[in-house]
A and B are shown apart, each in its own frame.
Chain A
Amino acid sequence: MAGYPPGSGYPPYGAPPAGQPYGYGSPYGAPPPSYGAPPPPYGAPPPPYGGPAPSAPPAGEKPPKEGKNQSYGQPGYYGHSAPPSASASQSPYPRPYSSGPFASLVPSVFPPGTDPNVVACFQAADRDGSGSIDDKELQQALSSYNQSFSMRTVHLLMYLFTSTNVRKIGPKEFTSVFYSLQSWRAIFERFDRDRSGKIDTTELREALLSLGFSVSPSILDLLVSKFDKSGGKSRAIEYDNFIECCLTVKGLTEKFKEKDTTYSGSATFTYESFMLTVLPFLIA
């Protein structure tokens, strides 16, 4: 999958791999400068942000096993289902439509070589067996015993990975979401230095810097107050809102950069493009 750190394996907490510059655009060959100050050499794990072009990871690269995610004390993504590898081997995900005249008309299927963990997670999340995952199913899959994953973040993820407002994802998009969430999880844990389960303003600044975004204190305060579930009291962001916050900063910054072709720090918008750029980020 474009951008997935080749060969460096999954960055364990506290041991940043050799970084490559964060680049949503880098899979397309043009390394974008980080907006604002150049990112300090944190050796940032390049988030395998697949963008709107989901594809399976190259064969041989696997996400960490269930145990690794759970070692942080939150069941998180793997939730409450039985060991996925067991169920995957017993009931391979049915692919009735992978060939034949209807293949192009039905939701995509998992390409061969997809990690069985991903397939199993998809299966576990697709509670009604519809072949696609809707927003409620995804929310349930992402929520853990002690924390619900906000529906807004679910919708934002679905919007970004399908480029539509249809709130369902198929196997291919699910795979991209899966890997993206893993990297977001890693980033969150890396920057939640005091292990509070929340990211405060200082930690957010560092997280965004490592992603290549240098934002001023005013913007940081605004972000924290917008994404703080306690309405501003704890002045810190939980995991699901952290994802949303980063995706929003990333999305808006990239849209801005599209208009700032001379990298001057200023961009000109027509009224139309301004509204069309901003409105999709107002997530219902």
Chain B
Amino acid sequence: MRTVHLLMYLFTSTNVRKIGPKEFASIFYSLQSWRAIFERFDHDRSGRIDTTELREALLSLGFSVSPPILDLLVSKFDKSGGKSKAIEYDNFIECCLTVKGLTEKFKEKDTKYSGSATFTYESFMLTVLPFLIA
């Protein structure tokens, strides 16, 4: 349900948990491409993406994340609470959307592409809180 809520938030830019035909069409096509990415990077066909596969998947989406961030992502999104150290399909979508969403918000503030961004307290909280999905 968390992934559902995240998708709805990202495709409606609101907290209203309903989508109409137009938004549904966008989600439909997005999910197709997410499915393709998942299958492309689940090299060992385990049905789950581990840390190495996740790194490659994120790289192919244009996001270069460091090992500490990767480990954190896998542990947060691993349904088995850290035991399998791998992510299933729905959480994979959520993981990628979260990285994508946070990175884009960060880049909005980092206009010089310096790798650093400055936030006011207000913008920091308003940026981050929507990603803490209930």
Contact = CB atoms under 8 A, between A and B. Distances in A.
A24 B126 CA distance: 23
Contacts of B129: 219, 222-223, 226, 248, 252
Contact of B124 (A165, A231, A267): A267
A67 B130 CA distance: 39
A256 interface: yes
Contacts of B133: 226, 282
A70 interface: no
A271 B118 contact: no
B118 A226 contact: no
B124 A256 contact: yes
A284 B119 contact: no
Given A215-B125, A218-B126, A226 B134 contact: yes
Interface residues of A, number: 44
Contacts of B122: 216, 218-219
A276 B128 contact: no
Given A275-B65, A281-B132, A222 B115 contact: no
Contacts of B98: 279, 282
B17 interface: yes
Interface in A218-249: 218-219, 222-223, 225-229, 231-232, 241, 248-249
Interface of B: 15-17, 65-66, 68-69, 72-73, 75-79, 81-82, 91, 98-99, 102-103, 106, 110, 115-122, 124-126, 128-134
Given A253-B121, A280-B72, A282-B76, 5 more contacts: A167-B82, A226-B132, A241-B134, A282-B131, A283-B76
21 contacts: A165-B82, A218-B122, A219-B126, A226-B130, A226-B134, A232-B16, A256-B119, A265-B120, A267-B119, A268-B118, A269-B116, A269-B119, A271-B106, A274-B117, A275-B65, A275-B103, A278-B131, A279-B72, A279-B76, A280-B76, A284-B91
Interface of A: 35-36, 135, 165-167, 215-216, 218-219, 222-223, 225-229, 231-232, 241, 248-249, 252-253, 256, 260, 265-272, 274-276, 278-284
